[in-house]
Amino acid sequence: MARTAEVDDTASLRARHWWVPYALLAPGALWLIVFFVVPLFSMSRLSLEDGGLANYANVISDNSTVIVRTFVYAGLATIIALAIGYPLAYVIALKGGRFKTLLLALVVVPFFVTYLVRTLAWRILLLEDGPVVGAARTLGILGDDQAIVGSPFAVVLALAYNFLPFMVLPIYVSLEKIDVRLLDAASDLYSTPWRAFRKITLLLSLPGVFAGTLLTFIPAAGDFVNAELLGSERTVMIGNVIEANFGKEFFRPELSALSFMLMAIILVGVIVYARLLGTEELV
Amino acid sequence: MTAVVDRPEAVPAAGPEGPDEPGGPRPSAPPSRQWANKLGGFALWAWAIAGLIFILAPILVTILFSFNNPVGRYNYTWNEFSLDAWTDPFRYPDLADALSLSLRVAAVVTVISTVLGTLMGLALVKYRFRAKGIVGGILILPLTMPEVVLGFSLLTLFVTVNWTRGFVTIIIAQVMFSISYVAVTVRARIRGFDWRLEEAAADLGAGPWRTFVRITLPIIAPGVVAAALLTFALSLDDFIITYLNSGLSETFPINVWITKRSRIPPQINVFTTTLLLVSILIAVAVLYWSHRQGRKLAAPGGRSND
C-alpha cells in the first residue's frame, strides 16, 4: 500500500495524513467531552435551577463553617504531608544509594490497598484500646475521658496519610533530576551544607513541591471518607454534605451549587498558587 | 503521581565539559561542624524512617487483622490469632460478589482506557497539530478536580438524561478519569523516541500493519503495560466517583461502605491482603520485564531477533 505512494519527502507525507492525529484522538477526546465536559455544564445548569444565583448565596450561608473547615483541614493535611514527605523524598533521592528502588516501592505500597480499607486501618490504630491512644495516655497527652477517633486531629492525620505518596513521588522526581555536581561545586566554594540546600536543592525541587502539594490538597478538599470513618458531626466536610444528601434519583439544586463552588475555589486557588510559585509544571 | 511519570528525556550524565569527577579535593570542615553535619544526617534518616513507618503501619495492621478473631461484628480490636477468615473467605456472599464485580469492572475499564489513552498519548507525542493545547488541557483538567466534583457532575448528567445507574455507568465513570492517567503515562514513556525507525520500515517495504506490530508496538509496550497496571489498580481502588454513579451495583469498596454500620468482618482484610500480594508480584514481574525490554531496545545495533 505505502509503496505505491513513492513518497520520500516526509513533509508532504505529513501533510497528506493531517487527519491521523485527530483520528487517534477522537475516541478518547469524545469520551472526555461527553462524560467530563458536558457534565460540568449540566451540573452548573442544575445549580441555577429554581433560584438562580441565590442558590449559591444560600449554600454559602448554610455551610459557611463547613466550607472553612474543609479548606483548613485540607491545608493542614497538606502541611503535614509536606513535613513528612519532603525529608523522606530527600533521603530516598539523595541518600538512598542502592536502597533507592526498595524505599520508593515501600512508599507506593499503600496504593495496592484499597483507600477505604487503609482508612479503616487508621480506625483500628486510633480507637480506644488501640496502640496510639494507649501511648498518648501514658505520655499524658491525652486525658482518660478523651478520644482520638471523632476529633479533627484524627481526620487531618488520616487525610495527610492517604495522599502522602502523591506528595513524596513528585518531590522525589524533582530531587532526582538535580545534578549532584552543583552541590559539590557549592561545597568547593565554601558554602555550608544548609546554604547549599537552600540555594540549590530547595529551589530546584520547587516544581515537585508544587505538584505534590496540589495532588495532596485537591483530593483532601473533596474527601468525605476520612471525615466519616474517623470524625464526628464536629468534623463534617463539604464532601460529607454532598455524600449525605445525594439521592439516587433526585437532588436539590443547592447540592450542585455546593459542588460547583468547591471546584471553582480549587481552580482559582490552583491558578493563584501557580503564579505565586512561578511554575506551570503541573504534569 | 502524574508528575512522576512525565519526565523530560534523561539528561546525559557527563556534559561537554569533560568526564564526571565526583569528590575531588574538598576543603575539610572544622571538626565541630563535621559533628553537626553527622547529627543532622542522623536526624534526617530518623525522620525519614519514621515517615516510612507512618506509611506502612496501616498496611501491616490490615494484614495482621486478617488473622484476628474479632469479638462481635466489628474487626476493630485485636482479640486472638485465628485462621477462620482465611479458611472461610466467602462467608459473606455479598462481599464476595462485590469483589467479583470490582475485578470485572477493572478488567473492562483497563481495556477501554488503555486503548483510548494510548491512542491519545501517541497522537500527542508523534504529531504536531492545531488543537494540541486544548487536548492537553482537557486531559489535565480531570486531574485537578476533586473526585466528588467529577463524580457528582457525571451523576447530574445521568439523572438529566434519565439513565439508570449500574455496571455501564460505573465503566463510563472510571474510564473517564483513567484516560488521562493512561495518556499522560504513555506520553511520558515514549517521548524522545526516534520515530524515523517507522519511516525506515516503510521505506524497506513494510506495510502499515507490519510496521505497527514490529516497530511501534515494541517501543510503546512498556509504557502501555505500565499504564494498564495503573488503570487496573486505580479502578479497584476507586470509591468516591464509583459510589456516586453505581446505582444499586456494589463494588468491593462500596459494599464495605454501605455495610460498615452493621459489620466489619476480617474477610475484608483477607481479600485486601490477597490483592496486595498479587499486585506486588505482578508489579515486580512487570518491572523486571520492562527493564529487559528497555535494554533490548537500547542495545547497540539493537536487533530484536524474534
pLDDT tens digit string along A184-203?
A: 888 888 888 788 888 888 88
Which segment of A113-122, B152-161, B198-207 scores lowest on mean pLDDT?
B198-207
A54 in a structural domain:
no
A116 in a structural domain:
yes
One domain for residues A122 and A249: yes
One domain for residues A170 and A33: no
B43 in a structural domain:
no
The count of structural domains within chain A is 2
Task: Give the closest of B24, B119, B275 to A25, CB-based.
Answer: B119
Asked whether the predicted pLDDT for residue B124 surpasses 50, the reply is: yes
Confidence class of residue A278 from pLDDT cuts 50, 70 and 90? low
Nearest to B158 by CA among A257, A246, A25: A246
Q: What is the pLDDT of residues B45-93, one digit of tens each?
A: 999 999 999 999 999 999 999 999 998 899 988 989 999 999 999 999 9
Give CA–CA dist B163/B247, Å, rounded: 10
One domain for residues A9 and A36: yes
A249 in a structural domain:
yes
Asked whether the predicted pLDDT for residue B303 surpasses 90, the reply is: no
Chain A: closest CA distance from residue B304 (Å) = 24
CB pair distance less than 8 Å for B240 and A177? no
In CATH, what number is assigned to the domain containing residue B257? Answer: 1.10.3720.10
One domain for residues A15 and A108: no
In CATH, what number is assigned to the domain containing residue A171? Answer: 1.10.3720.10
B158 in a structural domain:
yes
One domain for residues A9 and A129: no
One domain for residues A5 and A118: no
Q: Which domain holds residue B230?
A: 93-264
pTM higher than 0.80:
yes
One domain for residues A258 and A122: yes
| Residue at B277: amino acid letter | L
Q: What is the pLDDT of residues A141-196, one digit of tens each?
A: 888 778 889 899 999 999 999 999 999 999 999 998 888 888 888 888 888 878 88
One domain for residues A82 and A216: yes
B23 in a structural domain:
no
| Residue at B60: amino acid letter | L
User: B167-190 and B217-237 are packed helices; what angle lies between their axes, rounded to 10 degrees?
Assistant: 140
Task: Give the closest of B127, B140, B205 to A3, CB-based.
Answer: B205
One domain for residues A186 and A257: yes
A55 in a structural domain:
no
Mean of per-residue pLDDT scores for chain A: 86
DSSP secondary structure string for all residues of A1-31: -HHHH----HHHHHHHTTTHHHHHHHHHHHH
A57 in a structural domain:
no
B134 in a structural domain:
yes
One domain for residues A23 and A132: no
One domain for residues A105 and A244: yes
The count of structural domains within chain B is 1
A122 in a structural domain:
yes
Q: Which domain holds residue A7?
A: 1-47
Which CA distances in Å does B192 have to A20, B7, B77, B122, B184?
20, 11, 53, 12, 14
CB pair distance less than 8 Å for B58 and A25? no
For residue A27, the chain B residue with the least C-alpha distance is B116
> What would the grid cell of residue A133 be?
491512644
ipTM value for the complex: 0.86
User: Looking at beta carbons, which residues of chain A come within 8 Å of B183?
Assistant: 28
Asked whether the predicted pLDDT for residue B301 surpasses 50, the reply is: no
Q: What is the pLDDT of residues B136-192, one digit of tens each?
A: 888 888 888 999 999 999 999 998 888 889 999 999 999 999 999 999 989 888 887
User: Looking at beta carbons, which residues of chain B come within 8 Å of A103?
Assistant: 52
Give CA–CA dist B163/B159, Å, rounded: 6
Task: Give the closest of A36, A114, A123 to B236, CB-based.
Answer: A114
Q: Return all residues near B279 (Cβ < 8 A) that are at least 6 apart.
A: A112, B233
Confidence class of residue A2 from pLDDT cuts 50, 70 and 90? very low
A282 in a structural domain:
no
A160 in a structural domain:
yes
B303 in a structural domain:
no
